[in-house]
Amino acid sequence: MELCEFAFNMKKDEVCVNPYHYQRVETPVLPPVLVPRHTEIPAEFPPLDDYSHSIPENTNFPAGIEPQSNIPETPPPGYLSEDGETSDHQMNHSMDAGSPNLSPNPMSPAHNNLDLQPVTYCEPAFWCSISYYELNQRVGETFHASQPSMTVDGFTDPSNSERFCLGLLSNVNRNAAVELTRRHI
């Protein structure tokens, strides 16, 4: 706010913390990130066909290593897997056609043997962190706000997750000027 005498951009010794004197910064929506679902097996591992007669049926293979067989790896178009995901063919056609890196062409070098799956963006557990300072010295632990709105006050209610209460914070170096300031919070 241009009218605030102690705005952050004024570069004064004291800074206004009134939330009505600031504008909220909107975070842009991030596009999905595509990562391979399966990694390719390095060439140094021999094919398992040579040993298939000696491997018991109840053997569990590490992630990404499966015995080779004559069953085609790609399901037919329209196939819905047990976990509810559609086949590669449907997935490639459902992607945003405007993106230059996401071509539905199976011969594209970017799609050779890759099974891509979008990774959804997860919001962090808290949207802001509040640190309390007295005369350039931090007092107490940093408070992480998880509720959509916060109240900062001088009272003592440690059980309310929507409030950051300064009343419980003690400082052995607190002087009269700080005490007077705290009465106005």
Q: Against a cut of 0.85, is the pTM above it?
A: no
Flag whether 88 is in a domain.
Answer: no
Flag whether 161 is in a domain.
Answer: yes
**Overall number of domains in the chain:** 1
Residues 39-69: tens digit of each pLDDT: 666 666 666 555 555 566 666 666 555 555 5
Q: Which tokens go with 65?
A: 């290593």
Flag whether 143 is in a domain.
Answer: yes
Q: Give 115's contacts (C-beta < 8 A, 6+ positions apart).
A: 36, 37, 38, 88
Flag whether 82 is in a domain.
Answer: no
For 132, phi then psi, to 5°, come to -105, 130
Flag whether 181 is in a domain.
Answer: yes
Q: For residue 185, what are the domain limits? A: 121-185
Flag whether 173 is in a domain.
Answer: yes
Per-position DSSP letters for 42-106, written without gaps between them = PTTSPPGGGGGGGS-TTPPPPTT-----SS-SSPPTT-B-TTSPBPHHHHHHHS-TT-TT----T
Flag whether 29 is in a domain.
Answer: no
Residues 125-144: tens digit of each pLDDT: 888 888 999 988 899 988 88
Flag whether 15 is in a domain.
Answer: no
